[in-house]
Amino acid sequence: MTAWQSLYRASHARQGDRGLSRATLRRVLAFARPHRGRIAPYLGLSVLLSALAVATPVLAGRVVDAIVRGSAPSVVITLAAVIALAAIVEAALGLVSRYLSAGIGEGLILDLRTKVFDHVQRMPVAFFTRTRTGALVSRLNSDVIGAQRAFSETLSGLVGNVVTLLLTLIVMIGISWQVTLLALVLLPVFVIPARRMGGRLAALQHEAAEHNAKMSTQMTERFSAPGATLVKLFGRPADESSEFAARASRVRDIGVRTVMVQYVFVTALTLVSALALALVYGLGGYLAIIGSLDAGAVVSLALLLTRLYAPLTALAGARLEVMTALVSFERVFEVLDLPPLITDAPGARAVPDGPVSVEFDRVRFAYPAADKVSLASLEEVAALDTRGGVEVLHEVSFRADPGQLVALVGSSGAGKSTIAQLAPRLYDVDSGAVRLSGVDVRELTAESVRDTLGMVTQDGHLFHESVRANLLLARPGATEDEVWDALRRARLDQLVRSLPDGLDTVVGERGYRLSGGERQRLTIARLLLAQPRVVILDEATAHLDSTSEAAVQAALAEALAGRTALVIAHRLSTIRAADQILVVEAGEVVERGTHDDLLAAGGRYAELYHTQFADQDRAAGEGSEGSAGTVDGAVPVPV
């Protein structure tokens, strides 16, 4: 059984033979250090269990000798009782050993997973825009479990097999060196095929894993709400099915080949064991007949033989097992070694109390190159692009004083959303500074910046959780009344009350069980619950119909009242309400001023007005006075 388990684990190795890395070993030991209180007794039990495994065949031989010699029945009964006691002790120690093994393994999984999860959370947004989610999740699952096996199975297996092998050889040689030597003659026939079979199985399993990964990626992308919609609108279901079936068929074929290779190996293993056993019985029986060996010794040798080949085979594949475990550790460490670009500076302080100003001072920015924020293995490419990022913002400067609304307008791709992302420090500037209340955001704690700024984007992302959980994400300690107040101010309380489970209704993946306007209002309710001192709106109503937009506009009026605001605008009413308008083109602020001033200047803003906003102006003029861009008399602040 041990030999078969060793081969099976070797067959699941995903990497070839590699050299030992001392740095990796040191880091592995560092992770093991908190569990040393369990590891030491676990290894001690492994040694004791190995000794018991060798003692039982010896006792069985003593029973046979007692019977052959006609010893008193009490002798046989005593030996049988000792064998039974040894079995009971072995079973009890096995339970304790398994408990310790589970504690070590699961504890290591917990340590690795939480460390990787916490580290990934500190990565910049650019990391997530480049990384394949499935590849990253794999590090938290299969690779962490592979690393865990190093302690729960490989380490104890090495210790146990070495002890068992040494004790078995010592006892067998002590009983009959001739029989022992003959038994070892078949060792190469036993070990060499095992290693070769392991290599073949490893190649098959690696290929199957690749096909399974591709099928998993296809299912993940096609079974999400946006993916399924895209396939139904533009895809070809027959082609999708054919592609999936081809991969699944290949996995089936590999599975059949794997089963046959495994069966051939097991059959060969059984045959070689039977041949070795026949040699032991043949030579041992002959020596027993001529009086050179006791009959009980022959039985002991036969039983010990089964304890000899198993650890020999396991140790033959031990290097591959160790390498496999180390590869898993290295893949986990690879993620942990990728430094976060956004970290709190030593001595970072909180955003000053009171109203907050937002200032951009000669900001230059380029999105970081791939090699700064990602890993080739997570992007599933041969090599990362090492070229430096192209600068997208050039000497951007402006200031939004406390309570002011600054609107950003410009062509698509001009850099407006990039400016909005720099204020909450989703990225760090390359030169210049972004300041909150006069303090560079790089000198502020991330927590205080997060509490100070609230942002609503046009996609309004929600988690596949309840309405309550999505709202409390912004402020976990909020009371029930505060939650309902935020929903009321977002014009969403009546809808939530009508849902089957009210606040506990699950909104679905990315909130797809709600309409676009409902999702957006829920994100605004979340913003209202957070009570930020600065609000950033990135075209929060860009894709809504007129009815939904009107409701969201009213909610936004609540969100912006009395707060410093940075708004990427596509509605004329927003621009007219702005204290300052920034016209952004090609990463530069080319014009700034009020609506009337910029319109009178006849520059880029006037051009944008005539191409994007003039129809809105005419529609407002045709409506009742004061109705354009307002709901229930709210301040006109739609985006």
* pLDDT tens per residue, range 131-143: 777 677 777 777 7
Q: How many residues does the chain have?
A: 639
Distance CA 237, CA 231 (A): 7
Distance CA 473, CA 583 (A): 34
Q: How high is the pLDDT of residue 19? A: 46
Mean pLDDT throughout 199-215?
A: 69
pTM: 0.68
Mean pLDDT throughout 146-160?
A: 69
Contact between residue 592 and residue 398 where contact means Cβ atoms under 8 Å apart: yes
Please indicate whether residue 543 or residue 282 has the higher confidence score (pLDDT).
282
- Mean pLDDT (the chain, rounded): 78
Distance CA 129, CA 372 (A): 13
Q: CB within 8 A of 131, min separation 6: which ones?
A: 374, 375, 378, 379
**Which residue bears the tokens 């609230």?**
454
Angle of CA points 204, 210, 214, to nearest 5°: 145
Say whether pLDDT at 361 is over 90.
yes
| Least-confidence region, from 91-100, 107-116, 259-268, 394-403 | 259-268
Residue type at 434 in one-letter notation: V
Q: What's the CATH architecture for 358-374+389-622?
A: 3-Layer(aba) Sandwich (3.40)
Mean pLDDT throughout 564-578?
A: 77
Contact between residue 7 and residue 194 where contact means Cβ atoms under 8 Å apart: yes
Percent of the chain with pLDDT over 90: 10
Give the tokens for residue 620: 């407002």
Q: How high is the pLDDT of residue 40? A: 83
Say whether pLDDT at 527 is over 70.
yes
Contact between residue 218 and residue 244 where contact means Cβ atoms under 8 Å apart: yes
Q: In which order are the strands placed within the sheet that holds 439-440?
A: 391-400, 358-366, 431-436, 439-440
Distance CA 541, CA 557 (A): 13
Say whether pLDDT at 431 is over 50.
yes
Q: CB within 8 A of 572, min separation 6: which ones?
A: 609, 613, 616, 617, 620, 628, 629
Q: How high is the pLDDT of residue 632? A: 31
pLDDT, tens digit, for every residue of 252-297?
888 888 788 777 776 776 777 778 788 888 888 888 888 888 888 8
Give the tokens for residue 495: 């809808």
Say whether pLDDT at 397 is over 90.
yes
Distance CA 612, CA 581 (A): 15
Q: CB within 8 A of 146, min separation 6: which ones?
A: 324, 325, 327, 328
Domain residue ranges of the chain, discontinuous segments joined by +: 2-336, 358-374+389-622
Distance CA 169, CA 180 (A): 8
Q: How high is the pLDDT of residue 7? A: 39
Say whether pLDDT at 627 is over 50.
no
Say whether pLDDT at 503 is over 50.
yes
Dihedral angle over CA of 630, 631, 635, 636, nearest 10: -20
User: In 10 A of CB 18, how many CB atoms?
Assistant: 13
**Left, alpha or beta for 586 (phi > 0: left; psi -120 to 50: alpha)?**
left
Say whether pLDDT at 629 is over 50.
no
Q: Which of 24-38, 221-235, 347-361, 464-478 has the highest mean pLDDT?
A: 347-361
Residue type at 359 in one-letter notation: E
Helix axis angle, 318-336 to 2-11, nearest 10°: 40
Give the tokens for residue 289: 């007949």
Distance CA 439, CA 435 (A): 5
Say whether pLDDT at 312 is over 50.
yes
Looking at the DSSP assignment, which residues form a beta bridge with residue 454? 535
Quote the DSSP letter at residue 510. Answer: G
Q: How high is the pLDDT of residue 388? A: 59
pLDDT, tens digit, for every residue of 98-109?
888 778 877 877
| Least-confidence region, from 157-161, 542-546, 561-565 | 542-546
Mean pLDDT throughout 544-569?
A: 73
Contact between residue 441 and residue 434 where contact means Cβ atoms under 8 Å apart: yes
How far apart, in Å, are the Cα atoms of 251 and each of 220, 245, 256, 430? 18, 10, 9, 48
What 3-state DSSP class applies to 8?
helix
Mean pLDDT throughout 537-551?
A: 66
Contact between residue 468 and residue 374 where contact means Cβ atoms under 8 Å apart: no
Q: How high is the pLDDT of residue 205? A: 67
Please indicate whether residue 544 or residue 452 has the higher confidence score (pLDDT).
452
Q: Which of 468, 539, 473, 538 is nearest to 507 (CA)?
A: 468
Q: Considering the domain 2-336 in this protein, what is its CATH number?
A: 1.20.1560.10
Give the tokens for residue 195: 């290693």
End-to-end CA distance of the chain: give it in Å, rounded: 68
How far apart, in Å, are the Cα atoms of 143 and each of 21, 264, 388? 17, 30, 31
Dihedral (CA of 273, 274, 276, 281) sign:
positive
Helix axis angle, 36-68 to 73-121, nearest 10°: 160
Band of pLDDT at residue 590, cut at 50, 70 and 90:
very high
Contact between residue 497 and residue 467 where contact means Cβ atoms under 8 Å apart: no
